[in-house]
Amino acid sequence: MASLKELRARIGSIKSTRKITSAMKMVAAAKLRRAQASAEAARPYAAAMRRMLGELAGATRGEDGAPLLLAGTGQDKVHLLVPMTSDRGLCGGFNANVHRLTVQTIRRLQSEGKTVRLLPVGRRALNFFMRDHADLIVDHVTGTSAKEIPFSVASGLGDKINALLEAGEIDVCTLVFNKFRNAMTQVPTCQQLVPMVVEETSTELEASNDVAQYEFEPDEATLLAMLLPRNLQVQIYASLLETVAGENGARMTAMDNATRNAGRTIDSLTQVYNRTRQTNITNELIEIISGAQAV
């Protein structure tokens, strides 16, 4: 049985843990709100970008020499996986989910005889993949837990992927990240970036073909060549924002649970403490009384 002093120390330490976890929860909640707002603000750009790409892809359809980003290299040998995690832990299974999905994908691709490369984003992913798959890592990016993610992080990442593709080092590029559903649930997802998956909104395309015969300045190919890397960056940016929102959501939930657990542990420890104290007093009394009786 633990002594009273030990029990007091434990209760004290759990109380301070609870203070920390509840503070972290508040901070995560505030950051989550901001992250959601910035994800919201970034949406119109992505939407307009998609619309323009749809028009352009329609206009250049069937022409030869489509850019690599759109058509890929025509091969399917080397896959680049980009797992996106946070820089910091203490957010439940958030990062582990991405790791697990990535490892599964690596195994599947390798069993199909494909070469896999990794470009981990976020310090957590880097540390994790350094352990088992250090030989696959081509590059890494950290800084995903910063206060605000500047677009330059996404554009840098996009440029790196583009450079690898141009150099013929990769054929397919896939993002692995947590899709933010709500503060409680994040869904780990794979999203293929290269070759680009054009969403076939046939009805919309047909309709626009009737109405808008676009003029292009300069020509379609140049525009497309400029627009595609941008689109890559925008998609990466969107998933970065989702990761930030997801991280803070997951941390909020995890810290909420931790705070509640701490409360429960404190309650039960306090009960043990009180019982022990009472037993001690009773024992002392018995000793005194039996001592007095003996005299």
Partner 1 sequence: MPIQIEIISPEKVLVSREVDMAVLPGMEGDIAAMPEHAPMMLLLRGGVVALYEGDKVTDRYFVGGGFADITPTRCTVLADKAVPVSDISIDTATAQLEALSEAWDKADKTDTSRLVVLQDQIQAVRAEIEAGIAR
Catalytic center residues:
91
Residues 93/97/103/106 CA torsion (nearest 10 deg): -160
Q: Is 233 in the site for partner 1 (CB under 8 A)?
A: yes
Contact yes or no for 101/258 (Cβ under 8 A) = no
Contacting range for partner 1; rule: CB under 8 A; set: 95-103, 171-179, 222-230, 278-286: 222-230
Task: Work out which of 64, 112, 210, 215 binds partner 1, going by CB under 8 A.
Answer: 215
Q: Which amino acid is at 27?
A: V
Q: Is 269 in the site for partner 1 (CB under 8 A)?
A: no
Contacting range for partner 1; rule: CB under 8 A; set: 17-25, 174-182, 188-196, 206-214: 206-214
CB of 158 to partner 1, least distance (A): 11
CB of 46 to partner 1, least distance (A): 8
Task: Work out which of 57, 109, 234, 250 binds partner 1, going by CB under 8 A.
Answer: 234
Q: Is 157 in the site for partner 1 (CB under 8 A)?
A: no
Distance CA 3, CA 279 (A): 12
Q: Is 61 in the site for partner 1 (CB under 8 A)?
A: no
Q: Is 116 in the site for partner 1 (CB under 8 A)?
A: no
Count Cα neighbours of 93 within 13 Å in the Cβ-side half-sphere. Answer: 8
Distances (CA, A) of 41 to 36, 164, 172, 191, 237: 9, 30, 29, 22, 12
CB of 202 to partner 1, least distance (A): 20
Contacting range for partner 1; rule: CB under 8 A; set: 23-31, 92-100, 228-236, 242-250: 228-236
Query: By CB neighbour count within 10 A (0-12 exposed, 13-18 middle, 19+ buried), where does 64 fall?
Result: exposed
Q: Is 50 in the site for partner 1 (CB under 8 A)?
A: no
Which residue number, 225 or 269, has a Cβ lying nearer to partner 1?
Answer: 225
Q: Is 41 in the site for partner 1 (CB under 8 A)?
A: yes
Spell 192-226 as b/e; 16+ CB within 10 A means b: ebbbbeeeeeeeeeeebeeeeeeeeeeebbebbee
Q: Is 144 in the site for partner 1 (CB under 8 A)?
A: no
For 231, other C-beta atoms within 10 Å of its C-beta total 21
Task: Please tell me whether residue 174 adopts helix, strand or coil conformation.
Answer: strand
Query: By CB neighbour count within 10 A (0-12 exposed, 13-18 middle, 19+ buried), where does 155 fall?
Result: middle
Q: Is 56 in the site for partner 1 (CB under 8 A)?
A: yes
Binding site for partner 1 (CB under 8 A): 38, 41-42, 44-45, 48-49, 51-52, 55-56, 151, 154, 212-218, 222-223, 226-227, 230, 233-234, 237
